[in-house]
Structure 1
């Protein structure tokens, strides 16, 4: 029941509750949790998942320490406990934060169109052809990330009963998100003068697109981003 109640709380609310629980631990159990926190932090364990796990563990510890049971007796050594948590996370990763999912999606969508813009300019027979300006390029990444985040929140649940999988909401969310992205790009290009929204070299677009893809791959692996579309 504790885990279910914690699920819908914000990260800040979880941290406040956990701080209160932490103060009630015995010195030995507190040292155990400090050692565990150090290992999980070094492993870049998701902050929200970490607070959720700590809430569960400290609730169990407070109930057990009254009978003299220690954290080591419940969970093994600090290293063993951390290894178990990381293994469970690897096998059943939870959804990453909205920020990480937006960054991942923005790097994907923005980089695709940066590459398309660069290649199109290189192969264009019109010498005066211009690509999207630098402000449009930046907005492409930002709004693209927001659009991908919206879509990810409405991904159909194939395990849900028939009629409740959410395909209708997914199609609607995808359509609206893409319209938002295209409208933003169109308005940015049409309303911001070229003197400010400066067009760039096709090689620059290609370089930015390639760097964006590299950053996406690195960040996805580094922070184990889950819940994104791709």
Structure 2
């Protein structure tokens, strides 16, 4: 055999060793093996490091094997090869419900309610030029207590919906929750109305507006700093 022929054969053998078609798991179906073959080729053309490519391939194989038990093909699991490669390059998509501290959600909702109360009373008192609202109803302490209770109720609704995920929560359950929330909020409102005036006096219109604006600013800051999501608005 000539040296040129030996060199060509060696090159072919080397190419075969490096071919994406090599080392395809026998556990995979023919369709999934074909998908994996093209995935390896596509990943090799990206700028991803060999370690990241291999990690993506290993994770894909594991999901393929698990999916086969449920009768799912790679195409159903990942979409086209192009789509899957794009997802690998982009990295794992953050779960919008992950890492959401329920107390941060409560604080955000409470600030929202507190802001609405203060701006509402501030604007109302500003235009009427007089406080016709009974002391206690618009008192700053009443607002704070109501905001905390309402914030807790809204947070519970948010976490319940988040736990439900894609599963649709029965309407009757949400109605029961809404009725209970309304009863608790009404009872709290009745109690805070009894707080004496000196502890719960009405404030000037400008002060309400300033407090409402401050609550809005704090809420925006906290949402940005702690990446609070899934809020009411």
| TM-score when normalising by structure 1 | 0.53
How far, CA to CA, are the matches of 1:127 and 1:144 in structure 2? 25
Bigger Rg, which one = 2
5+ long unaligned stretches in structure 1: 1-72, 77-83
Contact 2:126 2:205 in 1 (8 A): yes
1:138 aligns with 2:124: no
Q: Alpha-carbon deviation of 1:228?
A: 3.1
RMSD: 3.2
Long gaps (5+) in structure 2: 1-49, 54-87
Per the alignment, residue 225 of structure 2 pairs with 222
Residues 94-128 of structure 1: per-residue CA shift (max 9 Å, x gap): 15111011001111112111111111112226555
SS of the residue aligned with 1:168? helix
Residue equivalent to 2:159 = 153
User: How many angstroms apart in 1 are the aligned matches of 2:187 and 2:198?
Assistant: 21
The 1:199–1:127 alpha-carbon spacing in structure 2 relative to 1, beyond 3 Å, is closer
Q: How does 1:81-230 map to 2 (within 5 A)?
A: 88=92, 90=94, 92-94=96-98, 96-124=100-128, 126=130, 129=133, 132-155=138-161, 157=164, 159-160=166-167, 164-189=168-193, 191-230=194-233
CA offset digits 1:152-194 (Å, max 9, x no partner): 133385832xxx53332223223322332232123111x1110
The 8 Å contact of residues 102 and 159 in structure 2, kept in 1 or not, is answered as: no
Q: CA deviation at 1:74?
A: 7.1
**Cα distance in structure 2, aligned partners of 1:97 and 1:143:** 17
225 and 143 in structure 1: CA distance in 2 versus 1, 3 angstrom threshold: same
Residue 112 of structure 2 contacts residue 215 of structure 2 at CA under 8 Å; is this kept in 1? yes
Larger mean Cα displacement after TM superposition, 127-136 or 195-204: 127-136
- Cα gap change, 1:88 to 1:201, in 2 (>3 Å): farther
